[in-house]
Structure 1
Amino acid sequence: MFPVLLVTGPRQVGKTTLLQKLMEDDRKYVTLDDPDVRYLAKRDPALFMQRYTPPVLIDEIQYATELLPYIKMSADRSGRKGDFWLTGSQVFRLMKNVSESLAGRVGIVNLLGLSDAEIYGYESTPYTTDAARLMKRAAGMKERGLNEIYARIFKGSMPALYAGDTDWEVYYRSYVETYLQRDIRDLSQVADEMQFYNFMTITAAHTSKPVVYEEFAGAAGISAPTAKKWLSLLVSSHIIALVQPYSNNILKRAVKMPLMHFLDTGLAAYLLKWGSPEVLERGIMSGVFFESYVFSEIYKSYLNAGKEPPVYYYRDKDQKEIDILLYQNGTIFPIEIKKAASPGKSSIKNFSVLAPLDNPERFGGMRELKTAIGQGNVICMSKNLLPIDEKNWYVPAWLV
């Protein structure tokens, strides 16, 4: 569809491996991790393009963004689709150059760590709360209990941890060192690697919580603007996701701050020095890790289908909160996440705050602002998919 394909995502999630498996025999491969190749690309991009003619896969394109105007010219001359396949990890350095140089010519695919569907061999489809879809999906899946779920949460999503006998602690230590030394060190706005490491740890401790920049800044010993800038780096490198609050003129008491989730719970567990799945499951952060795990599975289900995740959350000044709102086709689908096996009907009590959206005239709003409220889910440790009432269902976490 596009002359250029760019696959972005965190380090070591398999971007290059995926594209190499899809490569045709005549497609060349070159990595800008090689210092000599990188030097040529930066010093003489025109000569580089003569050496590596399309179709070509260029790995770690962020190391030589000087190539992008030449890729644009080549793509415009040939008019062929898929001439250039690119990968990039340092999205914070890359995307501005891509948007300026390759506007309208590049298809961007965001690749995160492995989803449950990929790990356990199930079909991957964008998550919806529809009970009929969930029942059909449950028929082909194996139930997983609390211990299995937390083993998965603790292990994380990195492909290398599922490919062989890789030591978990050694792997994540190396991963963090690589991220700090190869990505963060290159950024002028981060002067102290250890201070940024401390900030990452503080961020992991705030997973599944609203973002208050002053709190992050005070805990890390930095200014609030610096905290905001550093959080944006973690977002850009797909370490965390910021979930925006659902905004509607009818819900006047809704807060404006985003909610933050660590996307790889294994990395968060490493940063916070949790020693085992059992200790994590019994620990004080057990619930928030469960929430971030469920969120990341829903989030990845959309990215893996090439779609923008339609995810929001709700929180108001009375501390009423709904963990996830899926907004699609003019309809809001509320999702609550609870670690309990039998959360009870109180788990959907906050869904009632959405009533003004469904009936704005009754609450002093205009009919034109009406938003339908769809089927809701409570994703929990229930063994079975069960109805709560005529509109809401308990959904086992293994079914997400």
Structure 2
Amino acid sequence: MSYIERAISNVVLTRAKTSKCLLLTGSRQVGKSTLLKHIFADYNRVTFDDKLTRLQAREEPRLFFLNNPRPLFIDEVQKENGILEEIKVIVDESEDRGQFIFSGSQKLELMKGMSESMAGRVAVMELGGLSLREINGIGFNQHFAPTDKYLADREKELKFYDNIWEIIHKGSYPELYDVERDWQDFYSSYVDTYLERDINELITADSITFLKFLTAVAARTGEILNYANIAGDVGVSEPTIKSWISILERTGIVYLLQPYSSSALSRAIKSPKIYFRDTGLACYLTRWLTADALKNSAVAGNMFETFVVSEILKSFSNEGIDYRFSIFYYRGKDRSASGENEIDLIIEENGMLYPVEIKMTGNPKANMAGTNQILDKIPDKKRGIGVILCLIDKKTYLRENLLALPISYI
């Protein structure tokens, strides 16, 4: 198996050199352990997937650290969060940097444990699946924001993607790119392993019901989250669906995109939109078994949008930036009483709001961005250039302040 160079590597190395500890989060199989073993090859390593190792860490922590001296990489650290109190004592007694490297697949549990025990001592980063840049060997590593500087820098290393639907369908898990692995076999095993190793530790539900739930959520990727609607499909209560959605978010399977909040947008919808992090997994669950079938399906638009949103999130996390405070969406009736208007993404940066539309078309029109002017109502913010990310083959100005961009610009 060949190692696929990850865009986040240099940022991880830098953060480890300047922090006492580093935590890398991300869903299972995105390559956390492979990355950390590669760039911290001289570290001792243990995994808390091993129950005997967890038992020793819990009951005999001094012996655990004698057997596993620093610098130490602890994989799946969320399975024994109690060890963090012991680690806090150790790192407080030394000024050394990079003493501990952690990885884990349950982000919110890890963040809670780290904030309670390790505040100010740990740098937290997130690894997603392979990005388009990584799949195509592109070294550019700036987060997507349609500024003049970004566009000029990105154009120095552009590559046209002629197989985009194959990649959307295949998904972003590294194993599918570094070995010849059957697509259906991989995702079948992934779902079984995910249910067995992660979900069963967090909820009490039979696997058939939970698989039905996963499928119902995958069918709604790119839509505004409606708990009652999903509950009706699955046949469980709405509070149960809320709990299960939270588990999917915590384990990195879905992302909840929050609406842009401003008192000036008084008629905006307040519910988040839900996106699967990996389009290959969403395709498997909803039984789109080939790229051609997906491309010509009724769900192609939502799957394309899901893919683009995921790529933009990766561009932030691969640069070590927390995107939660920068990326939103808007839907509401602030502009017109005749119906709802939407902006697929709003990227906020340095007091500017950049409206982004995501369209599965090779012939974008200026009226596709007709809602952008709603952002002019927001005080103390300026509207930046608008973008339509689509299947066009070159950068094209549709208006002076509106660009159509190929997705190769992400």
Residue 174 of structure 2 corresponds to residue 159 of structure 1 = yes
Structure 1 CA distance, aligned partners of 2:60 and 2:210? 34
- From 399, 406, 409, the equivalent of 1:389 is 399
Does the CA contact (< 8 Å) of 2:358 and 2:388 recur in 1? yes
What is the match of residue 5 of structure 2? none
What is the match of residue 201 of structure 1? 215
Residue 138 of structure 2 corresponds to residue 128 of structure 1 = no
Letter in 1 for 2:363: S
Does the CA contact (< 8 Å) of 2:20 and 2:121 recur in 1? yes
Q: 1:1-400 counterparts in 2 under 5 A?
A: 1-23=18-40, 25=42, 27-122=43-138, 123-131=140-148, 133-145=150-162, 148-187=163-202, 189-309=203-323, 310-317=326-333, 318-357=339-378, 369-400=379-410
Deviation at 1:334, TM superposition (A): 0.1
Structure 1 CA distance, aligned partners of 2:331 and 2:265? 10
- The normalised TM-score by structure 2 is 0.91
Structure 1 CA distance, aligned partners of 2:81 and 2:268? 41
Deviation at 1:92, TM superposition (A): 4.5
Deviation at 1:10, TM superposition (A): 0.4
Q: Which runs of 5+ in 1 are unaligned?
A: 358-368
Deviation at 1:178, TM superposition (A): 0.9
Q: Which runs of 5+ in 2 are unaligned?
A: 1-17, 334-338
Does the CA contact (< 8 Å) of 1:56 and 1:84 recur in 2? yes
Structure 2 CA distance, aligned partners of 1:352 and 1:6? 40
Structure 2 CA distance, aligned partners of 1:78 and 1:254? 50
Does the CA contact (< 8 Å) of 2:106 and 2:252 recur in 1? no
Does the CA contact (< 8 Å) of 2:329 and 2:343 recur in 1? yes
Query: Number of aligned pairs?
Result: 385
Structure 2 CA distance, aligned partners of 1:352 and 1:298? 23
* Cα deviations by residue, 1:342-399 (Å, 9 ceiling, x for unpaired): 1212211121222322xxxxxxxxxxx3321001100010011110111110001222
Structure 2 CA distance, aligned partners of 1:93 and 1:63? 10
Deviation at 1:132, TM superposition (A): 5.3
* Cα deviations by residue, 1:22-75 (Å, 9 ceiling, x for unpaired): 1153x2111222333222222322211121121111111122222111111111
Deviation at 1:250, TM superposition (A): 1.1
Structure 1 CA distance, aligned partners of 2:32 and 2:368? 39
Deviation at 1:190, TM superposition (A): 3.3
Letter in 1 for 2:266: K
Does the CA contact (< 8 Å) of 2:366 and 2:402 recur in 1? no
Structure 1 CA distance, aligned partners of 2:234 and 2:109? 24
Does the CA contact (< 8 Å) of 1:190 and 1:196 recur in 2? no
Does the CA contact (< 8 Å) of 1:92 and 1:233 recur in 2? no
Structure 2 CA distance, aligned partners of 1:49 and 1:155? 41
* Cα deviations by residue, 1:245-273 (Å, 9 ceiling, x for unpaired): 11111111111111111110001001111
Change (3 A) 1:370 1:32: closer
Letter in 2 for 1:170: D
Does the CA contact (< 8 Å) of 1:28 and 1:54 recur in 2? yes
Structure 2 CA distance, aligned partners of 1:138 and 1:297? 17
Does the CA contact (< 8 Å) of 1:291 and 1:338 recur in 2? yes
Deviation at 1:214, TM superposition (A): 1.3
Letter in 1 for 2:320: G
Does the CA contact (< 8 Å) of 1:45 and 1:66 recur in 2? no
Structure 2 CA distance, aligned partners of 1:212 and 1:66? 36
Does the CA contact (< 8 Å) of 1:16 and 1:59 recur in 2? yes
Letter in 1 for 2:366: K
Structure 2 CA distance, aligned partners of 1:47 and 1:247? 50
- RMSD between aligned residues: 1.5
Structure 1 CA distance, aligned partners of 2:62 and 2:82? 10
What is the aligned-residue identity percentage?
A: 39
Structure 1 CA distance, aligned partners of 2:239 and 2:307? 29
Structure 2 CA distance, aligned partners of 1:319 and 1:190? 39
What is the match of residue 361 of structure 1? none
Letter in 2 for 1:120: N
Structure 2 CA distance, aligned partners of 1:398 and 1:136? 13
